[in-house]
Chains A and B, each alone.
Chain A
Amino acid sequence: MTFLRKLLWLLRRRQKDAELQEELRFHLDEDAADRVADGLPPDEAQHAARRALGSLTLVQEDTRAAWGWTLVEQLAQDVRYGVRMLGANKTFSALAILSLALGIGANTAIFSFMDALLLRSLPVPDPQSLVTLAWHTKKPEMHGSNRHEDSYDDPDGGFVGGIFAYPAFELLQRDASVFTSVFGYQGAGDLHFAVNGRAEITSGEYVSGNYFTGLGVSPAAGRLFTPDDDRAGAPAVAVIGYALGQARFGSAANAAGKSILLDNIPFTVVGVTPPEFFGADPNALPNVYVPMHASLLLQAGDRYGRAAARYADPNFDWIVPMARLRPGVTAAQAQAALAPVFAAWKAATDTKRPKADLPTLVVRGSAGGLDGLRRTYEKPLYLLLGLVGLILAIACANIANLLLARASGRTREMAVRLSIGAGRLRLIRQLLTESLLLAGIGGALGVAFAVWGIRVLTLLLLDGRGDVPFAPEIGVNWRVLAGVGVLSLLTGAAFGLVPALHSTRVDLTPALRGVDRRQSTRARGVNTSRALVVSEVALTLLILVAAGLFLRTLSNLESIELGFNRKVLTFELNARQAGQRDPGILAFYDRVLVELAAIPGVEGATLSDSPLLGAGWSATTVAASPGPSKGSHVLTVGPRFFETMQIPLLRGRAIEARDRAGAPYAAVVNDAFARTFFGSADPVGRHVRLPRPCPTCDIEIVGVAANTRYGRLREAPPPTIFLSYAQAIWGPVGEVTYAIRTAGGPLETERAVRDIVERADPTVPIARMKTQQALIDGMINQQVTFARLCSAFALLALAIACVGLYGTVSYGVARRTAEIGIRMALGARRAAVVWMVQREVLMLAAIGVAISVPAAQAASKIVESFLFGTQRNDPSTVATAALTLAAAAVAAGYLPARHASRIDPMAALRHD
């Protein structure tokens, strides 16, 4: 009741004030009138009335106090005073606010990012009822066909497979007791997409007929697939993504019903997906969807001719299934219901594994199926989160320290205020208001920093793969922000309260005389401050070590010996998808190659079936005769490949133009191959066979090349055999990668390259034109980001810790001014005084380092998987970090030390 009334009064405060004035004026008038009636002259009566009232302001003050909003008024007063105090000590305030803002901002940014990326669900109705189906084996699986983005090694040494054979997919669809639908997809890779003679390469996806109905997606135009579309022999239909529809047909509505060519096969666009839909797999982001059975058309020319056979093969896994649970059924119940069915089927059909190692079915609530995305970003984001958490801890310790030091500096002020009658509670409240104000401003700046930080993070983390569909949508997460805001206020309150209690409990007389600073009773405050600084140093060292490890990893990655020239420009062409067939296709590729070599400034041009780094990753068994059968990577290359890539030939000759179809099969092997297969014997002249693509082809090794990295940057050069692409041992020629080495900048040749390809065949689009260096940059993007972010974090932490050291030491020097004065009066030299101060600094830093080194050893386990070419407890990194810290500490101690050495003994002794 009264509270409500007070609140109302609060709102009408101005009016209340006016009313009070009027009331008092009325009182004065009445009083004067009474006195006139008593016989006084009017103006004397007025004066008498004023005298009787006393101080009008005081009456008003007292009356206002009765309204019961003194608390609020005092708060306003405290805030005003607090703002003045912050302004009076600008350096202190700026440091405290900045460190807190950076801590809060970095935490909010990373949290928001994690929330958006890791906890996001697919933009479909009721994503909670979607589950992913997978299988699990207790033993690791190395089988090539199971290596898929949805498959990964289990932490317990097992293997989780995300792809199923078509018969298994049908089996899972048959049981309708737990799922309303089971649907599936499989990436179709690059598709050649042509409309009205204009072609481009775009990513495609095979989806089951019930894929869109299962996900609950409605078309933006036309219709989506039905099970009838997904049958062998059904009309060739496609659904395209919204963006592609707009780009190629002007609008989604325009696209429906249009004819297109996919890999030169006519398809009809039946519908367009809505703009927010990006497919069930965030790693794929297809633009074109075709029914599963369209693979019979699109893969008719498949290397192994497996397109039709794979629908019947129970041992060939290729479909990624998803399912929607019936209402009320949980993922665990679904798994319990279907696991026995799957196990029985596996027992009957699996020919690859021993009976004891058969896979078991796993049904997982996917909360929308962004599992792959989660796996990609979870670990890096948690790591970053840990780092910014450390920063926040350092910032908090620093603020506590600064507040403590400042409170000690204000002992005298507090004593004065207490002695003239200020209540202790009132003073504590005021000090608390000041620290909360500090925290509040820090928090507000933190928001601004978070907004900016999210933008930077988006750029840094997702730049290497600008294909994450919802990156621009990541905004500040207000829930996270509220949490961090509360945290910052708590920090302010907790770290403000201790010094507030401390500095208001003073013995007035000595404090007023100013002698308190010399008394040992203050040692407790000093010790707290030292403990805080030591913890700041310890935490900073952790971040410094992490930064050192990441920088070392980055420099190791950047200086990796590739074994070939990283400045070559590569791009991909696929004339087969555009409709060209043998033997014209080889002539076409050769013609382009000749023209490329003729571009002015080009020093060499060649081609291969894939680039050395990047897409290429094909392993097969090679049988040497005589000799062993072992695994090797295979790359088919054109003439002048080794010369253009600047890969040294160790023996024999390279693949040349004479190794054409009809000529004896020739191969070059790398050094690793030679050693693996033949030891120290000379491989030139030996013969090998490739049992899988061509068991009868007798291939002669004509040369040995130096080792190069292949496929993956971080892996040691594997055994590799180079075949002549023109001899087509490795199946019919499809896609090729051209490589061009130029005298000038490789990108200057780009225009000329585009012209040549355009003239040769306008329906063959260029894909992925970039230098090998750019490719490598993309591959190590995460390490670059980590090294950059971590270095920034380390600098930040170092700066905050130095501020803490500086504050603590200056406070110590001020406290010991008289002592230092006496020492100097007794003949201590300046250098000795400087050393005395710096010794304390180094001591604090040393204790911090001593605590932190074992902690860093333990914590570095977390970052181990992000490192390359360095040990997680690399001693030189730890030593560098410790030395950096020591140097920074000495720098932080320099000013107070110099100040101490310039103390005038006479002034110091008269100081108090």
Chain B
Amino acid sequence: MSRGRPSRVELLHGTLDLLILRTLRPGPRHGHDIGKHIRRTSEDLLQVETGSLYPALHRLEAQGWISAEWALSEKGKRARYYRLTAAGRRQLESEQSRWRAFARAIALILSPAE
């Protein structure tokens, strides 16, 4: 489903959850908005497939990390808004620190201090 952008980065396995949780930290968003936000914030490097986004959202909801409710979008249409729960906030913290440790380890190996 490439849109022909040559410099797209494959989403690493298991990182989608982290990205969704992080995206929801400032406040509730609906599904389309979440996908768009991730793409924009990553400067179009990360492209979230719809086919993965919605299963992920529903899985996170089933785990209790995010909750969903129907509300009117800014254009006045009914949309399903997701919101971070307290458990989700804790999960985000731990995932974030794990990811930072992981990224640092990769960085250390790729560009060792000389």
Contacts and interface: CB of A to CB of B under 8 A. Distances in A.
B16 to A, nearest CB: 12
Interface stretch (B4-12, B59-67, B93-101): B59-67
Given A26-B30, A67-B62, A62 B80 contact: no
Nearest to B36: A34
A27 B62 contact: no
A26 B51 CA distance: 15
Contacts of A30: 30, 32-33, 73
A5 B1 CA distance: 34
A5 B56 CA distance: 17
A26 B32 contact: yes
Contacts of B62: 2, 5-6, 9, 66-68
Contacts of A33: 75
B79 A26 contact: yes
Contact of B80 (A19, A54, A58): A19
Looking at chain A, what size class is its interface with the partner chain? 20 to 34
A1 interface: yes
B26 to A, nearest CB: 19
Interface in B26-82: 30-33, 36, 49-52, 54-59, 62-64, 70, 73, 75, 77-80
Interface of A: 1-2, 5-6, 9, 19-20, 22-24, 26-27, 29-31, 33-34, 51-55, 58-59, 62-63, 65-68
Contact of B59 (A6, A58, A66): A66
List of 8 A-B pairs having minimum Cβ-Cβ separation, nearest first: A66-B59, A66-B58, A30-B32, A62-B55, A23-B80, A66-B55, A53-B50, A27-B32
A54 B49 contact: yes
B50 to A, nearest CB: 5
Given A54-B1, A54-B49, A23 B55 contact: no
Contact of B50 (A2, A54, A68): A54
Contacts of B49: 54
Contacts of A65: 55
A489 to B, nearest CB: 31
A24 B54 contact: yes
A8 to B, nearest CB: 11
A66 B56 contact: yes
A1 B64 contact: yes
30 contacts: A1-B64, A2-B63, A2-B64, A6-B62, A19-B80, A20-B54, A23-B31, A23-B80, A26-B31, A26-B32, A26-B78, A27-B50, A27-B54, A29-B77, A30-B32, A30-B73, A34-B36, A52-B1, A53-B51, A54-B1, A54-B49, A58-B51, A59-B55, A62-B55, A63-B54, A63-B57, A63-B58, A66-B59, A66-B62, A67-B58
Contacts of A34: 36
Given A26-B30, A63-B55, 9 more contacts: A5-B62, A5-B64, A9-B62, A26-B32, A27-B50, A52-B3, A62-B54, A65-B55, A66-B58
B51 A59 contact: yes
Contacts of B73: 26, 30
A281 to B, nearest CB: 67
Nearest to B32: A30
B2 to A, nearest CB: 10
Contacts of A66: 55-56, 58-59, 62
A22 B55 CA distance: 15
A288 to B, nearest CB: 75
A152 B3 CA distance: 98
Contacts of B52: 62
A488 to B, nearest CB: 36
Given A54-B1, A66-B59, A66-B62, A27 B31 contact: yes
A5 B85 CA distance: 15
A55 B1 CA distance: 11
Contacts of B3: 52
A341 B50 CA distance: 94
Please indicate which of the listed interface residues B52, B57, B58, B78 has the most CB atoms of chain A within 10 Å of its own CB: B58
Looking at chain B, what size class is its interface with the partner chain? 20 to 34
A64 to B, nearest CB: 8
B106 to A, nearest CB: 29
A5 B63 CA distance: 9
B64 A54 contact: no
A53 B48 CA distance: 11
Contacts of B79: 23, 26
B12 to A, nearest CB: 19
B23 to A, nearest CB: 15
B66 to A, nearest CB: 12
Contacts of B70: 19
A62 B50 contact: no
B33 to A, nearest CB: 8
Contacts of A59: 50-51, 54-55
A34 B32 CA distance: 10
B32 A31 contact: yes
Nearest to A29: B77
Contacts of A27: 31-32, 50, 54
A5 B31 CA distance: 21
Nearest to B77: A26
A73 to B, nearest CB: 15
B28 to A, nearest CB: 14
Contacts of A51: 1
Nearest to A49: B50
Nearest to B30: A26
Given A6-B62, A66-B59, A68-B62, A54 B78 contact: no
Contacts of A68: 62
Contacts of A5: 62, 64
Contacts of B31: 23, 26-27
Contacts of B54: 20, 23-24, 27, 59, 62-63
A587 B57 CA distance: 107
Contacts of B59: 66
Nearest to B3: A52
A29 B33 CA distance: 12
A13 to B, nearest CB: 13
B57 to A, nearest CB: 8
B51 A54 contact: yes
Contacts of A24: 54
A52 B50 contact: yes
A29 B51 CA distance: 16
A72 B49 CA distance: 28
B107 to A, nearest CB: 33
Contacts of A52: 1, 3, 50
A873 B50 CA distance: 80
A62 to B, nearest CB: 4
A20 B56 CA distance: 13
Please indicate which of the listed interface residues A22, A23, A52 has the most CB atoms of chain B within 10 Å of its own CB: A23
B38 to A, nearest CB: 14
Please indicate which of the listed interface residues A6, A9, A33, A63 has the most CB atoms of chain B within 10 Å of its own CB: A63
A52 B64 CA distance: 29
A10 to B, nearest CB: 12
A19 B62 CA distance: 15
A6 B63 CA distance: 10
Contacts of B57: 63
Contacts of A26: 30-32, 73, 77-80
A859 to B, nearest CB: 59
A62 B79 CA distance: 20
Nearest to B63: A2
B21 to A, nearest CB: 15
A610 to B, nearest CB: 85
Nearest to B56: A66
A58 B1 CA distance: 15
Contacts of B36: 34
Contacts of B33: 30
B49 to A, nearest CB: 7
Contacts of B77: 26, 29
A408 B14 CA distance: 43
B87 to A, nearest CB: 10
A62 B32 CA distance: 17
A62 B52 CA distance: 8
